[in-house]
Amino acid sequence: MSEWSGNRWPEPSRPRRVEGGVKARSKRGAIGEQWWSRRFIGVLESLGMSGRLARGRNYARAGQVLGFELATGYVTAQVQGSRAKPYRVRIQVLPLTVKQWQLVERSLAAQALFRAKLLAGEMPHEIEDVFADCGTPLFPRSAGDMEMSCSCPDWEVPCKHLAAVCYVVAEAFDDDPFGMLAWRGRGREELLASLRRIAVGEPEAPRPVIDVTDRPLAECLDDFWSPGLSAARLRAMPAAQVTAPDLLLRSFEPPAVAVRGKDLADLLTPAYLRLAGDDG
């Protein structure tokens, strides 16, 4: 963050030049060609921080994003700024639960046109309405639906490094519209296989109780214990939202176990609620 000296602010620091970074194709104007990538960028730009977003676009076009990884629920990246060590960026969204995806997939499969477009690799515009009708919006509705963090000393969110990553991710969504769906928990092949199975009436294959995809521990030892946030940004972040006590039970398929004729999840729910109570 710039320090005030005298009667004026010093000039913003210049990022170090890098080779081989991810460069945005757009050279001027807006970034994001397709409707789905523009919708994603619209959430970012709704914050109104025009100066930071402009610097973020410049970073994206200059190739300051060294690379990024998109997985279920998060995007991680490294961005080269003015310091020698690149900054670590993380953008998170809440993936849909198994039951939410099942509802969405049944709704998509019920529409022959949607199913045909998706199987052909196209993203029908109406898919947004399908998600909304299922009570699970496809796109973040506001910045509050995304958790963004950067290891830089700037406590404002988004900083220019976060903005740069959002812009290069938007262009990646231009190239592969299924990237947005994978971010929310369904990769291309898994989604299309589900649509084909539902269309012909095949039973669903059993899923593991815990199905989490993440980097192997050996690949993240260097920053495993790092908070990824400066002390100033941690203080500036809003308090975490209260999580439902039985969220874990509702997030996964209940085990095929019955106790006295009742589902195990139904029996465990009151216990979770009592454990979370003030007198627990």
Are 130 and 226 in a shared domain? yes
- pLDDT at residue 37 greater than cutoff 60: yes
Residue 18 is assigned to a structural domain of this protein: no
Residues 259, 264, 268: CA angle, nearest 5 degrees: 120
pLDDT in tens, 260-272: 777 777 778 788 7
pLDDT in tens, 163-217: 999 999 999 998 898 998 999 999 989 998 888 888 776 555 555 555 555 667 7
Are 159 and 225 in a shared domain? yes
Instruction: Write the CB contacts of 77 (distance below 8 Å, at least 6 apart in sequence).
Output: 65, 66, 67, 68, 69, 88, 89, 90, 165, 168
Q: Are 244 and 273 in contact (CB under 8 A)?
A: no
Average pLDDT of span 75-101: 91
Residue 213 is assigned to a structural domain of this protein: yes
Are 227 and 135 in a shared domain? yes
Residue 105 is assigned to a structural domain of this protein: yes
Are 51 and 187 in a shared domain? yes
Are 259 and 178 in a shared domain? no
Containing structural domain, residue 257: 242-280
Torsion of CA 19, 20, 25, 29, to 10 degrees: -40
> Considering the chain, what percentage of its residues have pLDDT values greater than 70?
73
pLDDT in tens, 61-71: 999 999 999 99
Mean pLDDT over all residues of the chain? 78
Give residue 7's pLDDT. 46
Are 77 and 174 in a shared domain? yes
Are 126 and 136 in a shared domain? yes
Residue 80 is assigned to a structural domain of this protein: yes
pLDDT in tens, 141-161: 776 778 889 999 888 888 999
The number of domains in the chain is 2
Cα–Cα distance measured from residue 68 to residue 168, given in angstroms and rounded to the nearest whole number? 9
